[in-house]
Structure 1
Amino acid sequence: MRKNGVVEQNRCYHLVSRLAHRAFFLDDEEKDRAVALMRRVEEFSGVVVLAYAFMSNHFHIFIYVPSAERRGLSSGLARAVPDWATDKSVRTQECVRTGHGGCRRIM
């Protein structure tokens, strides 16, 4: 896993994340939820989402980080995405472990 680097202003970044245990678990409803969260974070943080793609087991987001003066509040993305990913990982692990609860088999 790549370590977090320094986020510089006035730059573009390609963000990639994959679900835990190579699970295939993002259905259309969850993709819509992820896009809605991404848009809220974009508005809160001042980061600009230039492009994105959500697939069943991973996502790509291409962002532009403007200068602090243009951005306003910062670090919203750093807080919100891990919260969503952690919540998703916990639910995925529970489905794998129990094999029930309305979850389809994902491994």
Structure 2
Amino acid sequence: MAKWFQADGPGYEHMDEQGIVDLVSAEEEEDICDEEDADETTEDATKRAQCPVSHAEAMRMFDQCLTWLRFQPEATVSNTSTLVELRELAAEKRQSSRKQSKIDSFFSRF
């Protein structure tokens, strides 16, 4: 089991179940705000309409799979690496689809 944790490399933290729940809860709240503020191109909107799973939801599912895999004695470094790579892909796509707020939008709240 120790080898499996060491194989992840830097940048990957190992959370307990409560940490995962807290992370997912925070991301759900953030996603609600992001969906309201998102400025997607027509092509992005079309692709998103075709895929019933959001990038954030995919990240959560990969996190759950990684948690499940952690408790499987048959798990290999290759299995884990593949799931981590797919989770990172979902994270990159989620980040690239976010819109940067304009500075004047902060002043319109007052």
TM-score (norm 2): 0.35
Larger Rg: 2
